[in-house]
Amino acid sequence: MDWSRRFEIPLWASGFVLAGLVALEAGRGPGDLAYAADAVITRDGYSLVTARTAVGAAEKPIDFLYLIDGRDEMLYVYEVPGAPERRVVMRGGVHLPTLFAAGRGN
């Protein structure tokens, strides 16, 4: 009996099972995950930056989303209290030229 032929069917079967599992996991995608410390710049003139803060409990940290609207020259700050709550709270906004003028002492 040829030893290579004896293991051929189980090897093919395990290969198909592994390929199926890989396809199943790849199809799931990342889901609704979002991580702090990410940045996105859009073609429409918006820039978004997320940052994790030291505020909140270790199991429910509070993240902030900073949005810059390049067309209106505005900075908006949003708080993301915790992922399970699925809400975003606007904390404020400022006109960027005014902010930079105040920083220069004008």
- Domain count for the chain: 1
Residue 5 in any domain: the answer is: no
Residue 4 in any domain: the answer is: no
- pLDDT level of residue 56 (50, 70, 90 thresholds): low
Query: E-assigned strands of the chain?
Result: 39-41, 46-57, 60-69, 74-80, 89-95
pLDDT of residue 51: 82
CA gap 9, 17 in Å, rounded: 12
* Tokens of residue 48, six digits: 């978004």
pLDDT of residue 53: 74
C-alpha angle 56/96/98, rounded to 5°?
115
Tell me which residue range forms the domain holding 77: 39-104
Express each pLDDT in 58-75 by its tens digit: 666 778 888 899 888 999
